[in-house]
A and B are shown apart, each in its own frame.
Chain A
Amino acid sequence: MRHLLSAADLDRTQITEIFDLAEEMSLVQGRPVKKLPALRGRTVVNLFFEDSTRTRSSFEIAGKWLSADVINISAKGSSVSKGESLRDTVLTVAAMGVDALVIRHPASGAPWQASRWIDAHVLNAGDGTHEHPTQALLDAFTIRRHLRRSTPDLMSFDGQTVAIVGDITHSRVARSNVLLLTTLGARVILVAPPTLLPPAIDSWPVLTCTDFDEVLPHADIVMMLRVQRERMSGGYFPTPREYTMSYGLTRPRLEAMKPGAAICHPGPMNRGLEISADAADAANSLILDQVAAGVSVRMSVLFELLGGAE
């Protein structure tokens, strides 16, 4: 694997490989000395054009536990206003001799452009409203672990229904999850008001529904998406109250969930808006498992990209 730009880059076998390796990597987390020599001498740069605490630190820890030299570069602010083009920034960083660039950018597609300009491996850590493949990987990894508690030899998500609820239009998490979960065989249902469903959604390999309550009893996994602050005043829905009543995972909805179904949220959560505190902290909430899985999955991905013979 040269780059990881899209969740669509991965087939079922590759995903399984990443997950199996991530299971091994997760053992490191339990050790007193959390260090593997796998990427010693390799340099990973986290090039973040947008603020991010959890994704950046997750990549940073993943790289460090693999003994890579990890450098964080924050390049916030639009390249147009700074007067330096994206190409210049990327070439400048690459010229320092890095092996992998982990790129987070507020504009969709930036990692694709970067991958055409440089020789280093490019890892998409979230581009605009497009994709966030490692988030989808860690979500699916968490779901796999959850499902394996009852079915230990589970290999695919065939027969599982995942409801993704919220602002689909502006969600890179949703796009990557749709691609990855359908590759794994899950049935994906997107739940959102029509104003937050992307154009031409009929062309996606998913079902859509504007009524959360209709979907809820059928979902094995309920994945809640964060409502960004700027959307609240963007006229996509009338009020936060109406949103919560219609699309929030409220206490009554928590109780209406299918027995055995689990809750995911990519974080950070707006408690009380898209998810109630009861749901966030419920016994069937996988939210903290997702965070823990993030490090293992990113270790696995970094190893897949950089660990082999060059």
Chain B
Amino acid sequence: MTDLLIRGADLIGRGRSDLLIRNGRFVDPADAGGDVEQLDADGLVALPGLVDLHTHLREPGREDAETVDSGTLAAARGGFTAVLAMANTTPVTDTAEAAEHVAALGARDGHAQVVPVGAVSKGLDGVELAELGLMSRSRAGVRMFSDDGHCVSDARLMRRALEYVRAFDGVIAQHAQDPQLAGPAACCHEGEISGKLGLPGWPGAAEASVVARDVQIAELTRSRLHICHVSCAETVDVIRWAKQRDINVTAEVAPHHLMLTTTEVLGYDPTYKVNPPLRPNEHVEAVQEALADGTIDAVATDHAPHARHDKEHAFAEAAFGMLGLETALAVVMETMINSGVLSWPELAKRMSITPAHIARLADQGRPLAEGEPANVVLVDPAARAVVDRAVSASLSRNNPWHGRELPDAVVATIWAGQVTYQKGQ
């Protein structure tokens, strides 16, 4: 295998240096021999490959919406070298065999590392624990468990799950949404706009009240709790309180919650129907601030591809979710870097180092240093482009960023020494 020499990249915004990749790892650039491929990274920032804690790859089950192949190609285009594949597939990832199947699909088709997330409850039905231990001991090595799409609303089941996964350093990732406060018809943020549009909504309290309960259970059980897609100021307050008490809780925010607000739903376009819903601007500011100060630990895409026909129903009946992998870094740059709120090293923490640590991925989120696995993304901090939903590796087109100008961030993505994406090629 030829060596790859990346010339003159700014390593995580800390200064320019060359990077030499040999056999999937970084080696001393001074060792570059004759047989070397070169990649000019002048003016580019090198970040450790991004890690997405929250991806819906849809395979097995909905291969018309996304596959492991197309989803991880989208990941590579977005600068990701690892994705956590959510369990709400068909069949649900709630057994060791199902987890190994997803891992095997990843090994076969993946353009990034595919790590299965196990379901907390059998069939995501919130009643009985799935085989958490067997999934953790399987070849898939599951460490993160989530009923995402559904809330683990039964407090006793949540307690048992948190207690049980302590045995193998697992983490429960909660989709916090009280099913009583967010009724079955709820489809957007409850507030001025939902009232005027006549759409049933759910308030921040439906999220924050579950988080408040769960951090108390995590304190009781001394377990690792992760809060998926924090969308509102109320939840931020609860997590801030919990961290002050040294409760072992981490949290993620989705890119769309960092920028888009409830006003997007004014035209009843189901592209903007997402769970948790887009919230008013004060919530967007609250989650941005929380991401900046570390109350929210990570950005996770909640990449949720849907076949076009599943989004062409009336708003209340259309599927929840939007694409995110290809645009996540651009959105975080736009909202956090370009406004000077976050530095490159902090961004690397939020999008690579910390998510890798939460998911216990040994080869991800590592320093760009000799001997480390060569997972790296090269970022152009200045280029911009108008997002075109037709230009995408995803099989789906529910792209809320279509027509918006954003940073045209990713120049190349390298996973385990292999170039998985290179702009213009």
Contacts and interface: CB of A to CB of B under 8 A. Distances in A.
8 smallest beta-carbon distances between A and B, as pairs: A109-B268, A130-B198, A107-B314, A198-B195, A200-B192, A129-B198, A87-B312, A85-B312
Interface in B175-232: 190-192, 194-201, 203
Given A109-B268, A199-B192, A131 B198 contact: yes
Interface of A: 78-80, 85-88, 105, 107-110, 112-113, 127-131, 169-170, 172, 175, 198-201, 203-204
A85 B192 contact: no
Interface string B299-333: 00000000001001111110000000000000000
A64 to B, nearest CB: 29
B198 A172 contact: yes
Contacts of B313: 78-80, 85-87, 107
A79 B315 CA distance: 11
B314 A199 contact: no
Contacts of B267: 112
Given A199-B191, A200-B192, A80 B199 contact: no
Given A108-B316, A109-B314, A112-B267, A199 B198 contact: no
Nearest to A107: B314
Nearest to A131: B198
A200 B268 contact: no
B314 A110 contact: yes
Interface of B: 190-192, 194-201, 203, 267-269, 309, 312-317
Scoring A80, A170, A172 by chain B CB atoms within 10 A of each residue's CB, the highest score goes to A80
A294 B312 CA distance: 32
Nearest to A117: B312
Contacts of A112: 267-268
A85 B314 CA distance: 8
Nearest to B309: A85
7 contacts: A87-B312, A108-B197, A108-B314, A109-B314, A110-B315, A113-B268, A199-B201
A87 B315 CA distance: 11
Contacts of A172: 198
A47 to B, nearest CB: 13
A204 B201 CA distance: 18
Contact of A203 (B192, B312, B315): B192
A130 B187 CA distance: 14
Nearest to A84: B309
A79 B194 contact: no
A171 B267 CA distance: 20
Contact of B194 (A105, A175, A199): A199
Contacts of B190: 199
B268 A108 contact: yes
A109 B192 contact: no
A108 B199 contact: yes
Given A108-B198, A108-B268, A200-B195, A128 B317 contact: no
Contacts of B269: 113
Contact of B317 (A79, A88, A199): A79
A109 B197 contact: yes
Contact of B315 (A78, A108, A131, A198): A108
Contacts of B196: 175, 198, 203-204
Given A79-B314, A129-B200, 13 more contacts: A79-B317, A80-B317, A88-B309, A105-B314, A108-B199, A108-B314, A109-B268, A112-B268, A128-B314, A129-B198, A131-B198, A199-B195, A200-B192
Contacts of B197: 108-109, 130
Nearest to B192: A200
Contacts of B201: 199
Contacts of A85: 309, 312-313
B314 A113 contact: yes
Contacts of B199: 108-109, 128-130
Nearest to A202: B192
A232 B29 CA distance: 74
Contacts of A199: 190-192, 194-195, 201, 203
A231 B267 CA distance: 27
Scoring A79, A131, A201 by chain B CB atoms within 10 A of each residue's CB, the highest score goes to A79
Scoring A88, A105, A108, A169 by chain B CB atoms within 10 A of each residue's CB, the highest score goes to A108
Nearest to B315: A109
Contacts of A113: 268-269, 314-315
Contacts of B315: 107-110, 113
Contacts of B194: 198-199
A4 B3 CA distance: 66
Scoring A105, A172, A198 by chain B CB atoms within 10 A of each residue's CB, the highest score goes to A198
A204 B313 CA distance: 29
Contacts of A129: 198-200
Contacts of A170: 198
